[in-house]
Amino acid sequence: MTTHPIETQLRAGVPTDPTAALNAVLARAEAEGLVDVAYATTDSPIGPLLVAATDAGLVRLAFDAEDDARVLEELAARIAPRVIESPARLDQVRRQLDEYFEGCRDRFDVALDWRLSAGFRKTVLETLHAQVAFGHTVSYLELATMVGNAKASRAVGTAMATNPIPIVVPCHRVLRTGGHLGGYGGGLPAKIKLLELESTGHTLF
Amino acid sequence: MALNPAVRLPPFQHLLDAHAVDLHRFCVAQAGPDHGADCFQEAVIAALRAYPSLQDDRNLRGWLFTIAHHKVLDHHRATGRRPVPIGDGPDRPTGGVAPVDDDLWRAVNRLPGKQRGAIALRYLGDLPYAEIGVALGCSEAAARQNVRAGLAGLRQEVTR
């Protein structure tokens, strides 16, 4: 007979492992369309990445420095609060990211959900995504000219800084005039690594 | 999107990370491993359905346990209605008593319904009495009374 008070014994409850039950819930939630934003994390040579997708496609890619908790809260506020870690929906993009970092993929073939961008910024990002290929770079000014507004290079810079889907939408390929690197949400070392990777076609690290 | 702009619902994953283990134990303690897992699944799916239109982002833990409590009640009602097989010995749990793998929690499950719910919400849900009252559909004072009566009943059983 134990000497613990009955309340302590009650709190100890029955030993349970919710893993299987949670997996069943997740499968059912996905099947019934109850997951508005699925996310997963993946490791990469430039640190852990968070990837998130709606049913329309990849909606967000975030670097470690952006703080996962803040990124998820932003997704809950801007898209819908049913944000759930559901790696299966991200398998395709994670595989393509692995291939990209291994130097054996030069374009991403995944559906994109552009809903976190709007107006001019969205136009700039779509143009960048469609026209600036692996291994190429452009200046802010050139990209501004490509979208038909050569005076908008500052606004182009803002569009790059607020790119919700970096790497896949390749803002690392946009440099300052004269070849200066400019900034990068994932930090300059990450930008350099991505550019090195793309300049040689295989990884240097 | 939340209808009330003042409501800032956290990512649902936060709720799972913070409460799923306790919620699952809450269901299993009252309904047994298999039916408990079913109750847990029904509760989380129901919560997911309701979440986007939730008008209050306070007491999300209490909200989840209230849903789970109702799923457990549904389960007990369903098994209580089921005819008891002939030949059931006196030792076998009958009616709504779940095959729970813990003597004390088996005793809890023999308590009157509200006392069982109150005990489970208090000691596995770790909820304040006001929220237990909300879950049980009674006053805070009545919730307190149900926990007290439930504990008294259990002490009698274990010292018997």
What ipTM does the predicted assembly reach? 0.90
Q: Establish if A67 touches chain B: CB-CB under 8 angstroms.
A: no
Angle B95-B96-B100 (CA atoms, 0-180°, nearest 5)? 115
% of residues, chain A, pLDDT over 70: 96
In a domain, A205, yes or no: no
Q: Establish if B10 touches chain A: CB-CB under 8 angstroms.
A: yes
Catalytic annotation present for A171: yes
Residues A96 and A123 in one domain: no
Tell me whether residues B102 and A77 touch, CB distance under 8 A.
Answer: no
Q: Show the domain range for B35.
A: 12-159
Residue A112 DSSP label? B
- How many CB atoms within 10 Å of residue A14? 18
In a domain, A50, yes or no: yes
pLDDT digits (tens, 9 = 90+) for A139-159: 999 999 999 999 999 999 999
In a domain, B3, yes or no: no
- Is the pLDDT at A202 greater than 70, yes or no? no
Domain boundary among A71, A101, A131: A101
B152: Cβ contacts below 8 Å, ≥ 6 apart: none
In a domain, A10, yes or no: no
Domain boundary among A70, A101, A132: A101
Domain boundary among A48, A73, A101: A101
Residue A114 DSSP label? -
In a domain, A81, yes or no: yes
As a whole number of angstroms, the distance between CA A6 and CA B152 comes to 10
SS3 B113: helix
Which band of pLDDT confidence, cut at 50, 70 and 90, is reported for residue A197? very high
CB A48 within 8 A of CB A41: yes
Supply the CATH number for residue A30's domain. Answer: 3.30.160
Q: Name the B residues in 108-127 with CB < 8 Å from any A CB.
A: 108, 119, 123-124, 126
Q: Whose structure tokens read 């997708």?
A: A53
In a domain, A26, yes or no: yes
Distances in Å between the alpha carbon of B29 and those of B34, B50, B100, B105? 11, 25, 6, 6
Lowest mean pLDDT segment, chosen from A84-88, A183-187, B15-19: A183-187
Report the predicted TM-score, pTM, of the whole model to 2 decimal places: 0.88
Q: Name the A residues in 2-41 with CB < 8 Å from any B CB.
A: 6-7, 9-11, 13-14, 16, 18, 20-22, 24-25, 28-29, 32, 34, 36-37, 39
Strand pairing category for A83-85 and A138-139? unpaired
Supply the CATH number for residue B110's domain. Answer: 1.20.140
- What are A140's two structure tokens? 């802010």
Tell me whether residues B16 and A84 touch, CB distance under 8 A.
Answer: yes
Contact list in A for residue B55 (CB cut-off 8 A) is none
- How many CB atoms within 10 Å of residue B101? 14
CB A156 within 8 A of CB A125: no
CB B31 within 8 A of CB B75: yes
Nearest CA in chain A to B124: A11
Residues A96 and A124 in one domain: no
In a domain, A5, yes or no: no
Nearest by Cα to A50 from A58, A103, B99, A179: A58
pLDDT recorded at residue B2: 47
Work out how many CB contacts closer than 8 A connect A with B.
Answer: 102
CB B54 within 8 A of CB B1: no
In a domain, B2, yes or no: no
Tell me whether residues A16 and B8 touch, CB distance under 8 A.
Answer: no
Residues A38 and A95 in one domain: yes
In a domain, A25, yes or no: yes
Domain count, chain B: 1
In a domain, A127, yes or no: yes
As a whole number of angstroms, the distance between CA B72 and CA B100 comes to 13
In a domain, B111, yes or no: yes
Nearest by Cα to A147 from A174, A117, A123, A122: A123
- What are A106's two structure tokens? 């030069």
In a domain, B34, yes or no: yes
Supply the CATH number for residue A155's domain. Answer: 1.10.10.10
Residues A123 and A196 in one domain: yes
Q: Show the domain range for A80.
A: 19-101
In a domain, B4, yes or no: no
Domain count, chain A: 2
- Name the strand (E) or helix (H) holding B131: helix B129-136
- How many CB atoms within 10 Å of residue B80? 13
Which band of pLDDT confidence, cut at 50, 70 and 90, is reported for residue A19? very high
In a domain, B141, yes or no: yes
